[in-house]
A = this chain, B = another copy of it.
Amino acid sequence: MPTVTFLPGFQKVEVPKGDSILSAARKAGLPVNVVCGGIGKCGKCVMFLKSGRTEFDNQRYEEFFTAEELHNGACLACRTYVIDDCQVFVPEQTLIQSQQILIDTLGHTVDLNPSVWKYHLQLKPPTLDNPISDLDRLLDGVHDAGGPVDKRIYAPLELLRRIPSVTRESGWNVTATIALVPGGYRLIHIEKGDTRKKMYGAAVDLGTTTIVVFLRDLTTGQVLGVTSNYNRQISCGEDILSRVNYGKLGGFPKLQALAAESINAAIQTAANAAGVDIDDIYEVVIAGNTIMTHILMGIDPSYMIHEPYVPVVRRALSTSASRIGLSVRPNGGIFIFPAVSDFIGGDIIADILASGMTGSSDISLMIDIGTNYEVVLGNNDWIFACAGAAGPALEGGEVLFGMRANPGAIEKVSIDPATLEPTFSTINNSNPLGICGSGLIDILAELLKACVIDRNGRINTAIPHPRIRPGPYYPEYVLVWKEKAGINKDIVITENDIKNLIMSKASTLAACTVLMNVAGITRTDIKTIYFAGGFGNYINKDHATTIGLIPEVSIDQIKNLGNGAAEGANMALLDRKKRKLLNEIAEKIGYIELNATPSFMDEYTRSAFLPHTDLSLFPTVERALQQCRIRVVNP
C-alpha cells in the first residue's frame, strides 16, 4: 500500500491506493477542518502535495486556489486520491479552525505499552472435579494467557457481579480487561466472546480555553481521531481566576460537570467519527493546568490562588471514569498528570515529557508563553521551573491595535531598513484589522533593526518619514494606511504599545535568566530552546531573539514543541513507563518562586531593554545593531 507522509509533523500512514488524502490524514490523526463533510465544497481541507503521485478531481479548483498555489501543489485533501507514496504539507489553518491544534510536531515515536490489557479466554466450565470459583477460574485464565497472577488482581464489586452471568451465557468464552493501577492490577471489564480488538484510549489536553482529545486504538497505537472543543466552563468565566471566583460562590460542582461534559463531548465526537463505542474506551489520560485538574477531580482549588499558592495534590492521580463523570467504560482508568505547583501543572509536565529534555545531559530551556509564562530549564539530572505573568501584550492586549490571531490579524511584518516601508501578511489574507502577537514581535524587531526605535523602545521622531509621527498621545509608526486597512483608521504601533511589549518580554527573559543563574549556567550552555504551545509556531524566532524575549542561541537550536500537553498525554496513554517518568520529573523539579527571588527584579530591569542592557549577551543582535550606531553617528 502507498504511504502518505504529512509535513511538518512527519506522520506517516499507509492507505489503499485510491484513498483520499483526507482519509489518510484522518488515519494519521490530523484534525482536518472539513466543514462540508469532505465533498469538495467548503475548500477548507487545503493541503500541498510536495512529492509523489495523486489523482484529483479539479473541477472547482479555480474557485479555491490561485495559479501560484496550484503550482505549489495546492489541493483539496478530500478530492485528491493517493496513487503512490507521497508527501503532503498541511498548513496550520487546515487543522481545526482557528484553534490550530498541533500534534506530533516532534515526530515522536512512542513504544506501545498501554496500562490496559485484554485477554481472550476459553475457560473450562466448572465441574464437581474442578469446582474452583468463577473469579479464580477467570483470573487463572488471565494468568495462563500471560497476564498477572490472580493475587495481584483486584476485582471491584461491579465486575464480580457480572462474572457469573457473562461466563455462563457465553459458554465460558470471554474477554477480560485488566488495568495496571497503583498497588497492583484491577479487573475493569469482562465481556462475552473475543473483543480484544476493541480497546481504545483517549489522551486529553484539558486547557482553560480549549480541550483537545486524541482517540487512539490501544492495540495498534493508531490515532483514530482528534477533536477539540471549547472548554464549556467559559460560560462561568473566561480566565481561570474568574472561574475560581465563580467556584467559590458554590459553583465548583458546576465547573466540574462542565469540564467533564466538555471532555465527554470531544470524546463522543471523535468516537462517532471513528465508529468507536465509547464503552470500549478503557483509559483516559489527562494533562491540564493545576487548577483545571483540581476542578475536574472535584477538589476545591481556591486556596491555591492565594499565597503560598499550594496545590491540594501534586502527585499523579488514578481513579475510575465514573467517579468524575466521564462517559467511557465506567471502571475505565483515569490518569491525571502530576503537578509541581499551582502554576507548573500537568500541562507543563506533559510539555517536558514531550520535549524529551530530561532524557539527555544536554541542557534545554522550555518556554510556554501566553498571558502567563512558564519556564523550565534542565536536563536528565536537574530541572528548575518558574512561572510568572507576562501580561497580555504579547497576545495583542494592551496594544492599541493589538488583536488575537484571528482572520485579518497582521501576523508577519518586515520593514525595509532603507525605505522604512513595511511588508506584511494577514491571517486568511483578509484586509488588515489589527496586529497579533507574532506581528508585534516582528514590528519591534524590524523597527529596532531599522533604527526607528532605540534600545529603550523610544521612537526616533527625528526621522523624517510619513510613517513616523508624534501621534495624539504617544509617538507612533504607521503600519497600514487607512486606505489599505479593513478598518477606517491607520493601523499604528505607539511608543506606549512598545513599552508594554517590552515589559512583557522583559519578565519572560528575566525568568529565564533567574533559572540560568540558579542552575549556574549561561546561554552558551543551552543546547535547545523549546517553545511550548502555539506561540512558537507563529513567531519569527530570529525576531524573538532580536528583541530579547529569549536568551540568544542560534536559530537552529530553537524548536517548536507544539501542543506538548496533548503530545505528553498521548505518550503516557500509549506507554505506561512514561507515567513513572512523570512522577520522577515532577519530583525532580525545583520550583523557583519568582516573588520570593530578590534577583528577579534586577533581572527584570536589565531585561527591559531591546534586547537587554548587556548587549554582550546577544552578540548577533549586537552586530545587527551596529548600523544604528553608525547611522546615529552619521545621520
Segment with Cβ contacts to B, from A80-88, A96-104, A215-223, A299-307 = A299-307
Q: Is B313 in contact with A160, judged by CB distance below 8 angstroms?
A: yes
Does A481 interact with chain B (Cβ within 8 Å)?
no
Does chain B have a CB within 8 A of A329? no
Q: Is A52 an interface residue (CB 8 A)?
A: no
What are the interface flags for A293-315 relative to B under an 8 Å C-beta threshold, 1 for contact and 0 otherwise? 00001111011000111111111
Asked if A596 is at the interface of the complex by the 8 Å CB criterion, the answer is yes
Chain copies in complex: 2
Q: Write out, one digit per residue, whether chain A residues 113-142 have a CB within 8 A of any chain B CB (1) or not (0).
A: 000000000000011111111111100000
CA separation between A302 and B165, bound complex, in Å? 10
Instruction: Assess the B596–A128 pair: CB atoms within 8 A.
Output: yes
A260 to chain B, nearest CB (A): 13
Q: Verify A313–B133 contact, CB threshold 8 A.
A: yes
The answer to whether B182 touches A308, judged by C-beta atoms less than 8 angstroms apart, is no
- For the complex, what is the distance from the CA of A127 to the CA of B156, rounded to whole Å? 40
Contact A164 B132 (CB under 8 A): no
* Inter-chain contact A307/B128, CB cutoff 8 Å: yes
Q: Assess whether A128 is in contact with B183, with CB atoms less than 8 Å apart.
A: no
The interface residues of chain B lying within 8 Å CB-to-CB of A314 are 132-133, 135-136
Q: Are B129 and A164 in contact (CB under 8 A)?
A: no
- Does A591 count as interface, using CB distance less than 8 angstroms? yes
> Are A341 and B311 within 8 A (Cβ)?
no
A324 to B157, CA, bound (A): 9
Q: Which residues of B contact A126 (CB under 8 A)?
A: 308, 310
Tell me if A154 counts as interface (CB < 8 A to partner B).
yes
In the complex the two chains form, is A595's CB within 8 Å of B308's CB? no
Asked if A628 is an interface residue, CB under 8 A from chain B, the answer is: no
Whether A163 sits at the interface, judged by CB under 8 Å, is yes
A135 to B165, CA, bound (A): 41
Given the interface pairs A157-B297, A161-B300, A300-B165, the reply to whether A310 lies near B596 with Cβ below 8 Å is: no
Q: Report whether A311 and B183 are in contact in the complex, using a CB–CB cutoff of 8 Å.
A: no
CA distance A136 to B132 in the complex (A): 43
Chain B residues with Cβ under 8 A from A324's Cβ? Answer: 157
In the complex, A184 has a CB within 8 A of chain B: yes
A529 shortest CB reach to chain B, Å: 27
A 342-401 contacts with B by CB, 8 A: none
**8 closest A-B pairs by CB:** A183-B183, A133-B314, A126-B310, A183-B184, A134-B312, A128-B308, A133-B311, A135-B313
Task: Choose one: B134, B182, B312; the contact of A164 (CB below 8 Å).
Answer: B312
Q: In whole Å, how far is A162's beta carbon from the nearest beta carbon of chain B? A: 9
Nearest opposing residue in chain B for A163, CB measure: B312
Tell me the complex Cα distance, A220–B302, Å: 40
A135 with B315: in contact, given A127-B308, A183-B184, A595-B128 (CB under 8 Å)? Answer: yes
Contact A183 B161 (CB under 8 A): no
For the complex formed, measure the closest distance between the CB of A489 and the CB atoms of chain B, giving whole angstroms.
46
Near B by CB (< 8 A), chain A positions 273-330 give 297-300, 302-303, 307-315, 317, 319, 323-324
